[in-house]
Amino acid sequence: MKLSLIPLCVLAHSAVGCALNAVAVFKNDQGAHGVASFSQEKTHGPTTIHVEVWGLPEGNHGIHVHEYGDLTEGCNSTLAHYNPFNKTHGGPTDEERHVGDLGNIYSPGPDQSAVLDITADLISLHGKYSVVGRGMLIHSGEDDLGRGGSPLSNTTGNAGGRFLCAPIGWAAPKAN
Ligand SMILES: [Cu+2]
Ligand SMILES: [Zn+2]
């Protein structure tokens, strides 16, 4: 009966608290892999995101929610950064930014885990702007947060290739 709470919660548009959890599981052909976990305690509250990835080259890597959870053309078919309010690309705390702009995840090297914990006030698992069903992306290069002065700074942060991607789905309830 626990499972029936998830669709109820989504449909209710409730003003009361309604905790939802989502997850994206990454894996690529170069042996990199990891998990991004999303948790939103209150319907209109922030979403906490915990990311842990192995196999990322040393350095900063742009991390975003992209528009679609569609991997038919690999990471390319996730298309652009999720941007329902038609903003310019920015950093995760900038006033002007895409909803999907989460900044960078730092990797100490491919044999160690790269961890990112963020509280994202624009990311929601509820309602029409829910990111569930969209795509989570980790790039080969660093996101310049819109400040790099390259032609791509204002759209992608010039973060380079698409290294890891995964659709964001509802998380199964934890057995505990
Ligand atoms: Cu991206
Ligand atoms: Zn962006």
Other CB atoms within 10 A of residue 110 CB: 15
CA of 96 to the centre of ligand 2 (A): 10
CA of 156 to the centre of ligand 1 (A): 6
CA of 176 to the centre of ligand 1 (A): 34
Shortest CA distance to 167 belongs to which of 23, 44, 4? 23
Residue with tokens 């995760």: 92
pLDDT digits (tens), the chain, 176 positions = 455 555 556 555 544 568 999 999 999 999 999 999 999 999 999 999 999 999 999 999 999 999 999 999 999 999 999 999 999 999 999 999 999 999 999 999 999 999 999 999 999 999 999 999 999 999 999 999 999 999 999 999 999 999 999 999 999 987 76
- Asked about 117 being catalytic, the answer comes back as no
For 112, list phi and psi in degrees, rounded to 5. Answer: -120, 165
10 sits in which H/E element: helix 5-12
- Asked about 101 being catalytic, the answer comes back as yes
CB 101 within 8 A of CB 64: yes
Cα–Cα distance measured from residue 63 to residue 140, given in angstroms and rounded to the nearest whole number: 10
Rg of the chain, C-alpha, whole Å: 16
CB 168 within 8 A of CB 150: no
2-170: CATH, from 2.30.30.90, 3.20.20.70, 2.60.40.200, 1.10.4160.10: 2.60.40.200
Other CB atoms within 10 A of residue 143 CB: 29
- Tell me the pTM: 0.91
Exactly one of 61, 98, 126, 134 is catalytic; which is it? 98
For 5, list phi and psi in degrees, rounded to 5. Answer: -70, -30
Cα–Cα distance measured from residue 158 to residue 21, given in angstroms and rounded to the nearest whole number: 30
